[in-house]
A and B are shown apart, each in its own frame.
Chain A
Amino acid sequence: MNKNLERLYNGLWKENPTFVLMLGMCPTLAVTTSAINGIGMGLSTTVVLVLSNMLISALRNLIPDRVRMPAFIVVVASFVTIVQFLMEGFTPALYTSLGIYIPLIVVNCIILGRAESYASKNPVIPSMFDGIGMGLGFTVGLTLIGIVREILGNGSIFNVTITPLNDFHITLFGLAPGAFFVLGCLVAIMNVVRKKMEEKGKPLPAVQGCLGGECSSCTLSSACTGKSLVHQVEEIPPVDPKDVAKPQAMADAVKHTANAKNTEDVEKSGSDSSYADDDLTGKEEK
């Protein structure tokens, strides 16, 4: 039970997908025009994440390693289709306001990332709690950004107008540029937090998504890029890491000792020569 609670805490706080890992930025920017949209998107992503985590974890010994990415994608896409139908039937207003971003949950890197890094290696129950934690963390993130943008852009919270704020709202924050500005400021704030935490000696986990910089350095690039989709086994030669690590370490050790010997030799020879010089000078004096 402790492990499950730890997964919840991990998703909601320690590795919050929106604020710490900065994953799933496309929906974060697109649907946070209001707090309600943020909650809707977050919860539908949570449902897909929990269900796909559970199924992938249950099937983890059946899916061949070589075709796991296509298998994950099919599982996720099936659940997204189900969620899409449910939303169309029961929450039509939310369905129309989220629009194309519901089918695009398939390519949300949180879901494939959790499938690859957690669900495919752990039993069903912890995977479920991991999905719940990560999903709720994402929901909280989207809702908070949605609240900020709704207050700034529309002068309201959850569609309830706040009269004193309503006179000062800036419509721009409800539009596309506002999304970029709010996220840019969020990244800047997180930079400060990161620095503070590092000074305290408790560094935060690294940014994993596209905001980390280069796509090639992204930890999810193996999960996202097409190359690994089918060619995974051929691309990375199946060499046991121990075999690689040992000779290198030994070579390093040899180098170090060799270097040390060399420097010693040099020092000796230097000192020898100086002695010799002394001798010579002594001889000359004599």
Chain B
Amino acid sequence: MSYVTGLILLLVASAIVNNVVLSQFLGLCPFLGVSKRVETAAGMGGAVIFVITIASFVTALIYKFILAPTGFEYMQTIVFILVIAALVQFVEMFLKKSVKSLYESLGVYLPLITTNCAVLGTAINNVTNHYDILESVINGFGVAVGFTIAIVIMAGIREKIEYNDIPETFKGSAIVLITAGLMAMAFLGFSGVI
């Protein structure tokens, strides 16, 4: 299996087979909180793709060129969370100054992502699975695409069930969780693909 095939398989695996929300339970907060409308869900997805891809790249660089050579691998959790927090701030400031249009569409969602466990989880997963820098970026991108797929589908379903006759006790987040369970069941079907 060549390196490129491996990358494509990694992308599919991280986006669909091991979906970050529906099989790993990371990033549940935005998944439940920002999935009321398809447009906002897509905006959130875009922001997550942007942040996780960049964060995977930066944390992989830091791990390979700073932490690993100096023997400070055990500091990864502390370093990664601070780097991610600073990175999101920096990305937000950069977009505000130079890429106005992108900032207007993604800006409101960026602050919600800082301590989102999906970002830190992806960075740590990249290290524990010994991915190199390109693989880390691909994995990060795949994870974020998987998140976007899940949250957009969820928002579509929630727009539909909003006017349905749901039992009183299940109104609100209970029915959303049940829906997520059904989606997770559907995504289980992908588990034999790779």
Contact = CB atoms under 8 A, between A and B. Distances in A.
Contacts of A104: 26, 117, 120-121, 124
Given A73-B82, A187-B174, A224-B115, A81 B75 contact: yes
Nearest to B85: A229
Given A177-B184, A180-B177, A26 B25 contact: yes
B77 A80 contact: yes
B28 A230 contact: no
A55 B36 CA distance: 39
Interface in B153-175: 167-175
A206 interface: no
A177 B185 contact: yes
Minimum-distance CB pairs A-B, first 6: A180-B181, A226-B114, A184-B177, A210-B29, A215-B33, A187-B174
A100 B115 contact: no
A64 B110 CA distance: 25
B115 A175 contact: no
Nearest to A217: B33
Interface of A: 25-26, 29-30, 70, 73-74, 77-78, 80-81, 84-85, 100, 103-104, 106-107, 109, 112, 172, 175-181, 183-185, 187-189, 191-192, 209-215, 218, 224-227, 229-230
Given A177-B184, A180-B184, A227 B174 contact: no
B24 interface: yes
Contact of B33 (A181, A188, A218): A218
A213 B25 contact: no
Interface of B: 22-30, 32-34, 36, 74-78, 81-82, 85, 88-89, 92, 110-117, 120-121, 124-125, 128, 167-178, 180-182, 184-185, 187-188
A100 B124 contact: yes
Nearest to B88: A226
28 contacts: A25-B29, A70-B82, A73-B82, A77-B81, A78-B78, A80-B77, A84-B77, A100-B121, A100-B125, A104-B120, A112-B115, A172-B185, A177-B185, A179-B25, A180-B177, A181-B177, A188-B170, A209-B29, A211-B177, A214-B33, A214-B34, A215-B29, A225-B111, A225-B114, A226-B89, A226-B92, A229-B89, A229-B114
A187 B111 contact: no
> Which has the most chain B C-beta neighbours within 10 Å: A172, A178, A212, A229?
A229
A215 B34 contact: yes
A199 to B, nearest CB: 14
B25 A73 contact: no
